[in-house]
Amino acid sequence: MLGEVGADVLELRELNRFWNGPVRAHGTLYWDLLHLYRSTLDGLALAGPIDGIGIDSWAVDYGLLDDAGRLLGNPVHYRDSRTDGVMERVLSTIPAAELYAVTGLQQLPFNTIYQLAAEELPVDAATLLMIPDLLAYWLTGEIGVERTNASTTQLYDVLARDWSDELIARAGLPRPVFPALREPGEVIGSVLPDETGLAAGTPVIAVGSHDTASAVVAVPAVGERFAYISSGTWSLVGLELDAPVLTDDAREANFTNEGGVDGRTRFLRNVMGLWILQECQRVWGADLDELLRAGADAPPFAVLIDPDAPEFLAPGNMPARIDEQCRRTGQEPPQNRGAAVRCILESLALAYRRTLRAAQTIADREVDVLHVIGGGSQNELLCQLTADACGVPVFAGPVEASALGNVLVQARALGEPLSDLSAMRALVRSTHSPRRYDPQGKPADWDAAESRVFGTR
């Protein structure tokens, strides 16, 4: 994405969109990282002269380098089954309460600490780099890890804002493989001309390299008590706070405290997101618009699922898994695709409602509006159901929030007068008008639906 930032200007132009799916080889699910890097170089070649480059991506996954800077194997995908049962083994050594007190991180089976514990590190592993930092290393030759992504590893001390030497030691990991941390806005280095064809001296700038950290920068909130959902394959539902919340209530509700730009805390919970619908669409080979129209016409609350159930994590036959959960919970499975789509989206809206209410209670923070950003903001049915379920206005958009937050942090580092997050968000609001959805329907219907799904917990 090529961005332009200036007074009353915030624009993006897509240069190169490319496939990014997992590759299964000999029983292991990998990222095709060299394809991603090659495609990145192709995009840079189309950009022409530019002032800077920023890289953000998903969290938790990493690459290992040897002491000569060579990649040791292709990075494994977080949805791979190698971490099955590993979390329980690690928690028998490092109790969950102690782990949360240091990291403030949600327990997810694919967190970096569990990936590293799943297999013995290669003896020649010298450096661990998160995915954006690995690409930045290939572009510049400079080694380091950006702080917002480090905060997703469950090896980061959220109060000290540095790697936790104690947790690294207790997890049996070598401390030297974890490099120095960078702040969003810090210049990483200059591109290597033989890598990109760009002018010598073009800077690569650390941004909120966890894509959600960049996306939250671009929430178009102006003077509001807001919550957000970064909506895509995952839905990250939460609040922006000045400090982490490390209480027992936060841990028991499985909330995470991840680093944000300008030292903010993203207090949120991962909800499974549109991954379930994406996998159903893949299995059916159906058009998404047709599916959403059928879902809008289907009867409400006919069947509901828990979208965070572990059976929905891995790729596979998602319609069959939905049917199986319905049978297990005493419900008739959806009778057609429209009913299945309605089931998925209403169930997601219920999960958002439950998560948002818990966040407000635990953080003692009231919310007046909910901003839905990212690709899921285009899903009109889901946005309306979310407003209905949560009982607050929903503002949907921008779609490319991560890219916008990325270029805003770059622009400030390069001298644009964007003094703080409020100034950045005001520019987003003035250049990208979100669509408003007001709550409709009866709150009692959502109360009853939530009781059906979560009442026994």
| C-alpha distances in Å from residue 53, one per residue of 1, 182, 418, 451 | 10, 15, 18, 48
Where does the pLDDT of residue 193 fall: very low under 50, low under 70, confident under 90, or very high at 90 and above?
confident
* 180 and 48 fall within a common domain: yes
- Which residues have CB under 8 Å from 244's CB, separation 6+? 104, 158, 159, 257, 265, 267
What integer pLDDT is reported at residue 344 of this predicted model? 98
CA distances from 217 to 269, 288, 367, 374 (A): 18, 29, 18, 12
Task: Report pTM.
Answer: 0.94
User: Which residue from 313, 254, 319 is spatially nearest to 77, judged by alpha carbons?
Assistant: 313
Same domain, 132 and 42: yes
From 205, 207, 202, 188, select the one nearest 50 (Cα to Cα). 202
Average pLDDT taken over every residue of the chain: 96
Quick one: pLDDT band at residue 198, thresholds 50, 70, 90? confident
Of 56, 419, 400, residue with least CA distance to 204: 56
> Which residue, of 171, 190, 209, is where some domain finishes?
209
Question: Are 248 and 267 in the same domain?
Answer: yes
Helices in 274-390 by DSSP H: which ranges? 275-284, 288-297, 318-328, 337-363, 380-390
Q: Give 131-150 pLDDT, tens digit per residue.
A: 999 999 999 999 999 999 99
Instruction: Look at residues 209, 231, 252 and tell me which one is the last residue of a structural domain.
Output: 209
Residues 165 and 285 in one domain: no
Shared-domain flag, residues 164 and 288: no
The answer to whether 241 and 265 have CB atoms below 8 angstroms apart is yes
pLDDT at 196: 77
Asked if 410 and 398 sit in the same domain, the reply is yes
Are 176 and 219 part of one and the same domain? no
In a shared domain, residues 299 and 434: yes
Contact 53, 44 (CB under 8 A): yes
**Which residues are designated catalytic?**
211
- For residue 457, pLDDT over 50 is answered with no
Q: Give the whole-angstrom CA distance, residue 177 versus residue 129.
A: 9
Task: Give residue 259's pLDDT.
Answer: 97
Tokens of 431: 């250049």
CA distance 391 to 71: 49
| 401: containing domain | 210-457
User: Model confidence over 227-257: pLDDT tens digits?
Assistant: 999 999 999 999 999 999 999 999 999 999 9
- CATH code of the domain containing 407: 3.30.420.40
Are 220 and 301 members of one domain? yes
Domain count, the chain: 2
